[in-house]
């Protein structure tokens, strides 16, 4: 049996929820550099994910924010 976090299981669950108009809670783990978004009409945050587009979100959607050690981390 596949794990609940297996990508194909998640894809099927999201597709089912979309098809049925269900409201779901989605928990994402995203790594990238964060900045305050400009012109968003409030306090939204902007994160560029390596190799992908920019994600914007309000702080009340964040469960945790932890530093990730890396080569470009400021000391």
Question: Is residue 72 pLDDT above 70, yes or no?
Answer: no
- The answer to whether residue 69 is domain-embedded is no
pLDDT tens for 45-70 read 999 888 888 999 998 889 899 998 87
pLDDT tens for 16-45 read 999 999 999 998 888 888 999 887 666 899
Given a contact cutoff of 8 angstroms between Cβ atoms, the answer to whether 37 and 45 are in contact is yes
- The answer to whether residue 39 is domain-embedded is yes
Range of the domain at 41: 7-61
- The answer to whether residue 57 is domain-embedded is yes
For 33-56, b where at least 16 C-beta lie within 10 A, e where not — what string? Answer: eeeebeeeeeeebbbeeeeeeeee
Q: Nearest 5 degrees, angle CA 16-CA 22-CA 45?
A: 105
Q: Give the number of domains in the chain.
A: 1
- The answer to whether residue 74 is domain-embedded is no
């Amino acid at each position: 049996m596949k794990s609940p976090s297996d990508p194909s299981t998640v894809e099927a669950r999201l597709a089912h929820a979309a098809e049925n108009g269900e409201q779901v809670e989605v928990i994402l783990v995203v790594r990238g550099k964060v900045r305050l978004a400009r012109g968003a009409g409030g306090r939204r945050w902007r994160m560029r994910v390596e190799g992908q587009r920019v994600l914007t979100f309000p702080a009340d959607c964040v469960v945790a924010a932890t530093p990730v050690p890396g080569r470009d981390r400021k000391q």
